[in-house]
Amino acid sequence: MAMNESQNESQANLPALDDLPGQVASLRRQITILLFALIVISGTLTVYLWYQSHTTGKAIGALQPQAVQITKVFQQNRPGMEKLVRQLIVYGQSHPDFQPILKKYGLPLTLSAATNSAPKP
């Protein structure tokens, strides 16, 4: 009986071995299809990202004159803003109940700290 079982097992493996070239060919077709799909998807993504980059570049170019204008206005108004901040700090020094507001917006509580930490243009 043990002899028959081993013969049945070896016979059961034979059809699988006979079909091995067909399975390999099927796997090669699947890999080829997957690689082609990967190339198509990668190309599509590349074209989409290029298009987005191109449109964003045009939009930035169109907004650049406005940004330059806003920067100029900011630079012109900067001394007035710095004066306001200094006045708020002085007010906060004489009115302790105003100091939490200065802290909330990251302003120093003393003028010496404001002049030491102020960035130079």
User: For residue 41, is pLDDT > 80?
Assistant: yes
Where does the chain have alpha helices with state H? 2-18, 20-94, 99-104, 111-117
Distance CA 100, CA 95 (A): 10
What pLDDT shows up at residue 101? Answer: 92
Q: How confident is the model at residue 104 (pLDDT cuts 50, 70, 90)?
A: very high
Q: Where are the domains of the chain?
A: 2-117
Q: Which amino acid is at 35?
A: L
Total-model pTM: 0.47
pLDDT in tens, 58-85: 999 999 999 999 999 999 999 999 999 9
User: For residue 42, is pLDDT > 90?
Assistant: yes
Burial 22-54 (b: 16+ CB within 10 A, else e): eeeeeeeeeeeeeeeeeeeeeeeeeeeeeeeee
Q: Is 72 left (phi over 0), alpha (psi -120 to 50) or beta?
A: alpha
Distance CA 60, CA 51 (A): 14
